[in-house]
């Protein structure tokens, strides 16, 4: 009599669904407690200065000068005073106008320029790409004097006033924003499938038709990223805005500088107004990020996976 032994196979491991909690635990690089500690430290590193600025904005100048973290008395008077003390309203309006125009125009020019550089082969194409990359490595401080002399010469030889105007500052920001915006769009357009464009051309679409009907609807994440970074360039700039503006065209960043020289009673700077104005000037950028954050994630990670 022969006996047969059944072969037992080990049970197959349970499959984990993509995005499930089990898969997140498997792919996690750090243990849970250590990851929580790191996140708390990073959050505190970002939030503690913001909390201090807010508390200082509702504190008195003397209390901030004494080093008080928690105000002895709360007052929102600084938020109402900043609009008349240094002309912050006009500075914010100029910043929104100049930075917004820079963002829109640079994004529009970048997507059309990147479309030509990515989809067409012509003599000098690589030279242009390398030139755009080289322009990003030039520090802005080295360009202040040449740009100022160039724009001053425009009034001397052409009779065109550039220094002290909003559009002169816009042209300056656009010059520095275009290389980065173009490279962002070049990276994004390289990841778009060519089959969609070929199908549109078969249907009779022209080059402009492909650009407006195919490329633009698919490129919104990249366009938003390039536009936001161009907006930040104009919003945060102090160097060019200090040199190329007048009191009527100065931006919010220049208006904030006046708090460093203004003093209460000749001894104590306006710390409370300075903190309040800083929060007010940072609010538009925060709102901009909150509105377009889903486009930012897609635009910044474009080209990372082939």
The structure tokens listed for 207 are: 């080059």
Q: What is the pLDDT of residues 261-290, one digit of tens each?
A: 666 555 677 888 888 888 998 888 888 888
Distance of CA 271 to the CA centre of its chain: 27
Rg (CA), the chain: 27
Task: Please give the model's pTM, rounded to 2 decimal places.
Answer: 0.79
Give the chain's domains with CATH numbers: 32-75 (no CATH), 84-300 (1.10.3720.10)
CA atoms of 251 and 96, how far apart (whole Å): 9
CA atoms of 270 and 70, how far apart (whole Å): 18
User: Which are the contacts of 183, defined by CB distance < 8 A and separation ≥ 6?
Assistant: 132, 133, 136
The structure tokens listed for 52 are: 């201090």
The structure tokens listed for 26 are: 């498997």
Q: What is the pLDDT of residues 81-139, one digit of tens each?
A: 888 777 788 889 999 999 999 999 999 999 999 998 888 888 888 888 888 888 888 88
DSSP 229: H
Q: What is the mean pLDDT of residues 228-238?
A: 89
Distance of CA 36 to the CA centre of its chain: 28
Q: What is the pLDDT of residues 191-231, one digit of tens each?
A: 888 888 888 888 888 888 888 888 888 888 888 888 998 99
CA atoms of 61 and 72, how far apart (whole Å): 12
């Amino acid at each position: 009599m022969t006996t047969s032994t059944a072969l037992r196979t080990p049970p197959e491991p349970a499959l984990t669904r993509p995005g499930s909690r089990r898969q997140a635990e498997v792919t996690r690089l750090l243990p849970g407690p250590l990851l929580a500690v790191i996140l708390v430290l990073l959050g505190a590193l970002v939030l503690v200065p913001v909390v201090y600025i807010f508390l200082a904005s509702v504190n008195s100048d003397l209390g901030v000068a004494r080093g008080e973290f928690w105000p002895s008395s709360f007052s929102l008077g600084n938020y109402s005073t900043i609009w008349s003390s240094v002309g912050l309203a006009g500075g914010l309006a100029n910043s929104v106008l100049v930075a917004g125009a820079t963002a829109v125009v640079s994004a529009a020019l970048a997507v059309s320029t990147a479309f030509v550089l990515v989809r067409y082969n012509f003599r000098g194409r690589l030279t242009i790409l390398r030139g755009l990359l080289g322009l990003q490595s030039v520090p802005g401080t080295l360009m202040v004097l040449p740009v100022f002399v160039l724009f001053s010469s425009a009034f001397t030889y052409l009779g065109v006033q550039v220094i002290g105007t909003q559009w002169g500052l816009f042209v300056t920001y656009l010059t520095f924003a275009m290389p980065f915006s173009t490279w962002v769009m070049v990276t994004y357009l390289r990841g778009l499938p060519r089959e969609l464009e070929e199908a549109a051309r078969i249907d009779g679409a022209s080059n402009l038709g492909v650009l407006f009907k195919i490329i633009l609807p698919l490129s919104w994440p990249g366009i938003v990223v390039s536009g936001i970074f161009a907006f930040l360039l104009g919003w945060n700039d102090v160097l060019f805005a200090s040199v190329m503006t007048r009191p009527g065209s100065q931006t919010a960043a220049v208006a904030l500088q006046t708090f460093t020289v203004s003093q209460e009673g000749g001894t104590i700077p306006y710390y409370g107004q300075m903190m309040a104005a800083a929060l007010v000037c940072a609010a538009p950028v925060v709102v901009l990020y909150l509105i377009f954050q889903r486009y930012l994630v897609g635009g910044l990670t474009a080209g990372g996976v082939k």
